[in-house]
Structure 1
């Protein structure tokens, strides 16, 4: 008996459904292997999210060693809070932050992180890590990212790009962290990088010429034109000159951490230190759920500015200027628990 028309149509429909199911399964398999190829660990770094957020991991650690580390970071948070409270007359001069105040806060939505970058405190490598975490780049190894590409603003999203409700939500629910450094060591590092390297012509023109014009008597026309031989003593005199910040804010490379990251207005969950950079950085990555396959890059320390170098640079600074400079960076010293350097001759 020949099958009826309805039965033929039904069989055709079943065949089409089977074919579609097989095709869909094949596509899913292909998609799975594409995902597996994104990192050598079989995990998509940019989009991985654990069952617990970084904040939950930080404030409710599940392992003893995390708990011990958490105690250290609680002490650092308390130090910031206590300093803000003790210096409330200074720290609360500005009660409301503007979007422009948030341009240093880099956002990673996938891992619910906010990182306030501070120049001269390993910010190039941390920007590289944030590019890997956010997937804003074609790299899975942070050290494959050229340094200049890490500083392209379009490669990372900052908090000032969000609406006010979105800003408030992220400040409340994301883990916020920053890295700090002994203030005068950071300052000497900025000076060495921006004023003693011949390739930094933009800084020489922008700041060097201004510093020489204001601080050097009988400056040559060449020095006034090039601005490429600023002395550290002249740089310090420029920083403590009241006219400097009345004209414009400090450049980010020598601006205070207090002014860059606003720790008296924004509660940072983790304060990392340059002195324990790798340990603190890997702790952040562990809290973010990526610590098993993403580590903070290590690099040669031969060019780093050290405490010994900093001591040498300050030998020719008068005690009066040392005292005035300390006052500029005093909150950073107190807030992040850095002692007054032994080489200072404060008045």
Structure 2
């Protein structure tokens, strides 16, 4: 009695699997659709669509730079070797340059902003919205340029103003001194998923008219006027409008300029590559190696104010899929050189 039932069950299950495969094969790929159709997929709720689009970003910890490793507890130096190896491979594959320890310092472009610590002998390439405020607080504290030993007590406004005035390598105005530090100091770069960085820049600079950045409010209105069907007006740009603008912009502001342009990672060899997504672990190990004792890496924002997956999901709900594809194509170098997953 049981044998015919088992046989029938297997047959039904097999038929169901074949049906599911048949249905999935018939589903059209949104990338194959014309742009105007991609941007108006009506059979899905936007909120649900946003969750699907960012699902890859939410699982970055197993697939971004370290997607080849099986255990997150891999040693810090092994992790660094993997990140550097990936960067080297992508620079060569895309023919963007050759990483060199002895590059010509006179070719160091003005847009490359390097901050230095003589006490601990390291250099940081500053990338806005990638823990730059926190790093400046650490630098000012270790160099004893502020009256505290706790970087958390340093105000962000003071950190930017003082570090830019005292620790910018370009201000040495001495090619020999710059070259010596670049040759002998450890070099650090901190990056993050480009889409999270774009959202952080938008929330901090363009979403509202903040007293400390009225120039960015004017820029936000200009972005809205340029990409909106409404034309000129007084409205600030939406996140979707900002992404559309960022994908087209060729003279980007530093807060959303590509890592490739800001830090020349295919020219300058960076000894340490940190990620905002793993910043506490990365910087703990980095500071330990440089013997920066009795100091913890400060967070610049309270947990509730940080740009996290929930906020990304909320903002992405209004972004057309075509715009997301354009952002990836525009920031492809940053995604691929540092191993962040394609959206």
Q: Identify whether the pair has TM-score above 0.5, normalized to the shorter chain.
A: yes
The verdict on how the C-alpha distance between 1:300 and 1:218 changes in structure 2, with shifts beyond 3 A counting, is closer
Among 151, 174, 180, the alignment partner of 1:142 is 151
* CA deviation string 1:213-271 (max 9, x = no partner): 211233464x1xxx5x2111211221122xx32xxx31111111121111111100000
Q: Deviations over 1:119-138 (max 9, x none)?
A: 11221111000001122222
Alpha-carbon RMSD across the aligned residues, in angstroms, is 2.2
Aligned length in residues:
260
CA contact (8 A) 1:132 1:142 kept: yes
Q: CA deviation at 1:156?
A: 3.4
Aligned-partner SS, 1:101: coil
2:323 and 2:123 mapped to 1: Cα distance? 36
Q: Is the 8 A contact 2:134 2:298 kept in 1?
A: yes
- Tell me: higher relative CO, structure 1 or 2? Use CA pairs within 8 A at least 6 residues apart: 2
Which of the residues 234, 238, 247 maps onto 1:240?
247
Counterpart mapping for 1:36-51 below 5 A? none
One of 191, 196, 212 as aligned partner of 2:207: 196
8 Å CA contact 1:99, 1:160 repeated in 2: no
Specify the SS of the correspondent of 2:253. Answer: coil
**Which of 264, 268, 271 is matched with 1:269 structurally?**
271
Please tell me whether the aligned partners of residues 124 and 147 of structure 1 are also in contact (alpha carbons under 8 angstroms).
yes
TM-score where L is the length of structure 2: 0.70
| Matched position secondary structure for 1:151 | helix
8 Å contact from structure 2 (residues 225, 232) kept in 1 = no
Equivalent residue for 1:84, pick from 91, 111, 114: 91
Q: What does residue range 83-122 of structure 1 map to in structure 2 within 5 Å?
A: 83-88=90-95, 90-91=96-97, 97-102=107-112, 104-122=113-131
Unaligned residue ranges in structure 2 (runs of 5+): 1-72
Q: CA deviation at 1:148?
A: 0.4
Counterpart position of 2:177: 166
Q: 1:330 to 1:146 in 2, by over 3 A?
A: same
User: Does residue 1:211 correspond to 2:219, yes or no?
Assistant: no
TM, length-normalised to structure 1:
0.69
Q: CA deviation at 1:76?
A: 0.9
List structure 1 runs of 4+ shifted beyond 4 angstroms: none
**How far 1:154 moved relative to its partner?**
4.5
2:167 to 149, 157, 162: 157
